[in-house]
Structure 1
Amino acid sequence: MSAELFKYLVVGFYVGLTLWLSWIGMRKTQDIKGFSIGNKDMSAWVIGVTMAASISSTATFVINPGFVYVHGVSAFVHYAIAGTAGIMTAFLLLTRRFRQLGDESGAITIPDWIYQRYRSRSLSVFFAVINLLSVAFVVLILVGCSLLLSELFPISQTLSLTLILLFVFSYVLMGGSYAHAYTNTFQGIMMIGVSLFVFVQGYHHFQGDIGASLSGIGEQYASVFNADSNLYHDFFSVFLSGFVITFALMMQPHILTKMLYLKNDRDVNRFLVTTFLAGACFMLMLAVGFYARLKGLEIERQDGVVVSYIASEFAAFDWGPYALVFISITLLAAGMSTLDGILVSLSAMVVKDLYLPFSGKEGFEQGSGLMLSRVVLVLVGLLAYLVALDPPKLVGLFAQKGVYGLAAASLVPIVLGTLLPRQPPILVAWGSAATGLVTHLLGILLFGIENPAVAATYAIFASALVAAALMLFGSPTPTESDQACARLE
């Protein structure tokens, strides 16, 4: 079988299986709740792989290895070690209690959870609006996937972008959360296999001595704190910001809502173990940044490191073209595994938390709510598509600036709402959320902080300080306007 025929067969199989899984999901999706978080009948193992795939996505498989290629060990430590520690801490600390509160209140989105916990409609609307910053990450994924598809097939990046968007929409529109979970499980298994294969196959570039090989590139390149790097040069930018911002990123709507998929507390341990093991395999892809440098590749565009490396690495082998096809499709799957989750969460959120509370239409959720969530899905995708047609030079940093702002605003209100036994004061949630978002934006736009993780970490610290002050000195009672808005529900 020729490599060209193999490519089309594998792509056809991937597309066919994905659409079939989404059709199965569509049969279980009857209302907006099923579209958003399912009917609590998914296996904990499925949810765990889905979660890991949603976290990793194009950022881990395509974009972040470029940072390792440029900045070296410091970037690897920032993403793989500090980041993994932040993920594990967030899940261990929040999963059980967050799931219990969501289950008791019937929440199906993060702003809905905020409303049920704080009983403030204005606060939930604020969270729904700032969660639209997730569109920045949608742009990152679309750009990364379009680079891969245009490398795999002789088509333009614009056509690649269009085909990817149409494909993802075709299966997410059908099955919502079920299509997302079922296809993510399939995609996640592919991602685990490719991560292990690429890591092991490229290990020879270290020549048996990782430290000496990296030092050969440059002393600072092999240093945990890279003095030559504008992004990862000290303990704060490498470790502390990596831990804090990754912890905060678990507050994103397409990630935290996975905990609401779980049926009961007995599923939590299986979910956590599956997520951690799959995530650890995915982090091995960051080594591609090292491999590309050790191989001597001169890559002008940082976002194209992975694409360039796999094309160069496997070209010399007879089986190389076949491996290249499978790896490229898996990298595409990595992006889609997060893209579909974000689109599902955003569309459900706009309907549930922005339209329904103010529509005054009783029973709307069971009927037109599902259709409207699909309409919103299309609009969000089109907006991201327009931005992705002419993306920023470093799309990874562009996405981080938007999504990290969302994380900085969300962390303190969600953590307090989860861990405190009683409802936290609304003033505390408002103050900490606004402080986190504004401080992050000021750090990026006014003070010129180049690493978005550093700006977001400062913002989270400021948010926590404001929350602590308000807890000590602020009024614990809801405002009259909040009470009035809550009665509209």
Structure 2
Amino acid sequence: MNNLASQEQIIATAILIVIYMAVVLWLVIRGARKTTNIGEYALGTIGFSPVAVGLALAASMTSAATFIINPGFIALYGFSGFLSFGIVMPIAIYFSLIVITKGFRKYGSSVKALTMAQWIGKMFNSQRYAIFFAFLSLLLITFIVLICVGITQVLSNALNADPFWVLLAVVVFVFGYMMFGGANSLVYTNAIQASIMLVVAIVLLSSGLEYFEGGVDGFIAKLASIDPALVKPTNPDSLLFRDYFEIIFCQLVIGVAIVCQPHIMTKSLLLKKDEDVNKYLVVSIIALTFFFLVVFVGLYVRVYFPDLKVGGQVLPMDSLVSAYVVSKFSVYVSLIVIIGLISAGLSTLEGLIQSISSTITADLLDPLLGKELKLDIDSNQILTNKIVIVLLAAISFGLSYQQLVSPNLSVGIFAQNGVYAYFSAAFVPVIFGTFLKKTSLKAVSIASVTAIVVHFSVYYGKFMPYMKEEVNNPAIAATMAILISVVVGGIIHQLEFSKANNKEALNVH
């Protein structure tokens, strides 16, 4: 490990983290007092303002991936990565958020769905389908792993501490307080975290202004002198940004589908009035724009560490941003940035723990073991949810440590593979359920299974020319999965619709 932090930085960081932990615990205790059952844990009891919920959405959508992990890809591969992660994907996400949110909220609030699996199960009147999605939600543990790794990289660099103990402390603390707070504390902590993240986004984006003393051309020349491929719109030597199919087409598909995740979709259900939706969307999109631009910092990192080394040692991709922050900024500025990076991670981590644990408790254990566990009693629901969180913590710790010790290029690839598989399966039921009338269960369920099979077959079977490398791009597998599942679901929907119409016609005659 590279000891980049000074003694002053270590002491100041430790003090700040203790204060940060105290504030979070105060908010959690405050929220926990109002949480008496699993419904309140999942959706809260408080009438949240659209500004708070909008900030919470922006915070939970961007996370450690945007602030800590993805800039590393841009540091390695240059403009092609920024075009993909910083421009194309955000545009697709905004479009999807605006189009899907209103329809999802309208049905979600009318059926009182607590989780994504419940929404899908009630939309298509099938408990089996809900249980299937509850199982699929376990794929989102890969995203928990990414965030745990990202936060650990930042803190271990800032404290010159052994990553094993830092990771253990992060997992125990965050999973520990999420056993109690749920949505009531989540929106408060997310809104505060988003506010800190906005400050940090501005600090990070302005940290490389000195590299523009010769204007934009001067900055481009600096990058080109390190590696000409860094300033080209495509990077054939990269693993994710080889051509416009990967950079634009795949990211547009992924950006539209990425919204179909439980910790994103269910945020709109926290709004108490339909009139709040527009303000909620405006606030979240403005904040998201700042957050997504942070990946540009990867280019500053490359100018600062041209050979990606410190003291002769090559920096792992996942620790590039934390190394840049600790070595580039003064003690007190680095403290603000470190807290922002931790906030970026915790905001999504909290949402994931809350949504996955709620899904396992309400949509998996209740239908399968509800009588044995007596889950019709509120206190038993809450206790079961806490046990689920403990198990999630143990699994997340084991996988996170493995990714710290031996990542396959980056924990980002590991996380994308799991998360992209999940929302590939969720895309057809969410879109068909929101926008088509009388969609059959057969059409959406076959489409979901198709998406999972295609995603993992393309990724691990290496069927396409793009997928022949040691490390492959999960976005290609997910794009194929989404497109094929839409075609399969669409054909079955049309056949079922025609069959129903023919029956009606025969009955009339």
TM-score between both structures, scaled by the size of structure 2? 0.89
| More deviation, 173-182/46-55 | 173-182
SS of equivalent to 2:242: coil
Contact 2:226 2:306 in 1 (8 A): no
SS of equivalent to 2:208: helix
Aligned counterpart for 1:307 among listed residues 322, 325, 331:
322
Which residue does the alignment assign to 2:52?
46
SS of equivalent to 2:462: coil
Which residue does the alignment assign to 2:383?
371
SS of equivalent to 2:68: helix
Distance 1:229-1:454 versus aligned 2 partners, 3 A rule: same
Which residue does the alignment assign to 2:295?
286
Aligned counterpart for 1:356 among listed residues 366, 385, 396:
366
Which residue does the alignment assign to 2:336?
326
Aligned counterpart for 1:102 among listed residues 88, 105, 108:
108
Q: Which amino acid aligns with 2:448?
A: A
Between the aligned partners of 2:383 and 2:498, the Cα distance in structure 1 is 39
Name stretches of at least 5 consecutive residues in structure 2 with no aligned partner.
1-6, 309-313, 501-509
Q: Tell me, yes or no, if structure 1 residue 434 matches structure 2 residue 449.
A: yes
Between the aligned partners of 1:61 and 1:371, the Cα distance in structure 2 is 34
Matches within 5 A, 1:53-92: 53-92=59-98
Matches within 5 A, 1:90-129: 90-129=96-135
Contact 2:157 2:323 in 1 (8 A): no
Between the aligned partners of 1:334 and 1:410, the Cα distance in structure 2 is 25
Which residue does the alignment assign to 1:407?
423
Q: What's the offset of the Cα at 1:363?
A: 6.7
SS of equivalent to 2:207: helix
Distance 1:45-1:229 versus aligned 2 partners, 3 A rule: same
Which residue does the alignment assign to 1:9?
15
* C-alpha RMSD over aligned residues: 1.9
Between the aligned partners of 1:363 and 1:22, the Cα distance in structure 2 is 24
Contact 2:52 2:188 in 1 (8 A): yes
Distance 1:365-1:412 versus aligned 2 partners, 3 A rule: farther
Between the aligned partners of 1:440 and 1:3, the Cα distance in structure 2 is 44
Between the aligned partners of 1:161 and 1:476, the Cα distance in structure 2 is 55
| More deviation, 250-259/101-110 | 250-259
Residues 229-288 of structure 1: per-residue CA shift (max 9 Å, x gap) = 232122210011112112212111111111111112111011101111111111232122
Aligned counterpart for 2:204 among listed residues 198, 202, 209:
198
Distance 1:4-1:432 versus aligned 2 partners, 3 A rule: closer
Q: Tell me, yes or no, if structure 1 residue 455 matches structure 2 residue 471.
A: no
Residues 192-230 of structure 1: per-residue CA shift (max 9 Å, x gap) = 101101111222223321444443333332121222223
SS of equivalent to 1:230: coil
Between the aligned partners of 2:10 and 2:420, the Cα distance in structure 1 is 41
Which residue does the alignment assign to 1:418?
434
Q: What's the offset of the Cα at 1:9?
A: 3.3
| More deviation, 179-188/57-66 | 179-188
Which residue does the alignment assign to 1:262?
271
Which residue does the alignment assign to 1:179?
185
Residues 315-373 of structure 1: per-residue CA shift (max 9 Å, x gap) = xxxxx011112211221121111111101101110111112123454771523112211
Between the aligned partners of 1:359 and 1:306, the Cα distance in structure 2 is 45
Distance 1:287-1:57 versus aligned 2 partners, 3 A rule: same
Which residue does the alignment assign to 2:503?
none
Contact 1:206 1:213 in 2 (8 A): no
Q: Identical aligned pairs, as a percentage?
A: 32
Distance 1:424-1:312 versus aligned 2 partners, 3 A rule: same
Between the aligned partners of 2:104 and 2:485, the Cα distance in structure 1 is 21
Between the aligned partners of 2:498 and 2:50, the Cα distance in structure 1 is 38
SS of equivalent to 1:367: helix
Q: Tell me, yes or no, if structure 1 residue 396 matches structure 2 residue 412.
A: yes
Residues 72-118 of structure 1: per-residue CA shift (max 9 Å, x gap) = 11111111111111210111111111111011101000010011100
SS of equivalent to 1:174: coil
Aligned counterpart for 1:159 among listed residues 152, 155, 165:
165
Between the aligned partners of 1:365 and 1:303, the Cα distance in structure 2 is 44
SS of equivalent to 1:457: helix
Q: Which amino acid aligns with 2:79?
A: V
Which residue does the alignment assign to 1:342?
352
Contact 1:432 1:463 in 2 (8 A): yes
Between the aligned partners of 1:369 and 1:360, the Cα distance in structure 2 is 9
TM-score between both structures, scaled by the size of structure 1? 0.92
Q: What's the offset of the Cα at 1:389?
A: 1.6
Q: Which amino acid aligns with 2:381?
A: G
Between the aligned partners of 1:477 and 1:131, the Cα distance in structure 2 is 33
Q: Tell me, yes or no, if structure 1 residue 227 matches structure 2 residue 232.
A: no
Q: Tell me, yes or no, if structure 1 residue 381 matches structure 2 residue 393.
A: yes
Between the aligned partners of 2:358 and 2:476, the Cα distance in structure 1 is 31
Distance 1:298-1:415 versus aligned 2 partners, 3 A rule: same
Between the aligned partners of 1:477 and 1:206, the Cα distance in structure 2 is 64
Name stretches of at least 5 consecutive residues in structure 1 with no aligned partner.
315-319, 479-489
Q: What's the offset of the Cα at 1:2?
A: 5.9
Between the aligned partners of 1:178 and 1:211, the Cα distance in structure 2 is 47
Distance 1:287-1:465 versus aligned 2 partners, 3 A rule: same
Q: What's the offset of the Cα at 1:291?
A: 0.4
Q: Which amino acid aligns with 2:411?
A: V
| More deviation, 136-145/246-255 | 246-255
SS of equivalent to 1:215: helix
Between the aligned partners of 2:459 and 2:171, the Cα distance in structure 1 is 30
Between the aligned partners of 1:113 and 1:220, the Cα distance in structure 2 is 46
| More deviation, 363-372/109-118 | 363-372
Which residue does the alignment assign to 1:485?
none
Residues 27-55 of structure 1: per-residue CA shift (max 9 Å, x gap) = 22111111011135111111111111111
Between the aligned partners of 1:313 and 1:321, the Cα distance in structure 2 is 9
Between the aligned partners of 1:355 and 1:57, the Cα distance in structure 2 is 29
SS of equivalent to 1:142: helix
Q: What's the offset of the Cα at 1:60?
A: 0.4
Q: Which amino acid aligns with 1:33?
A: G
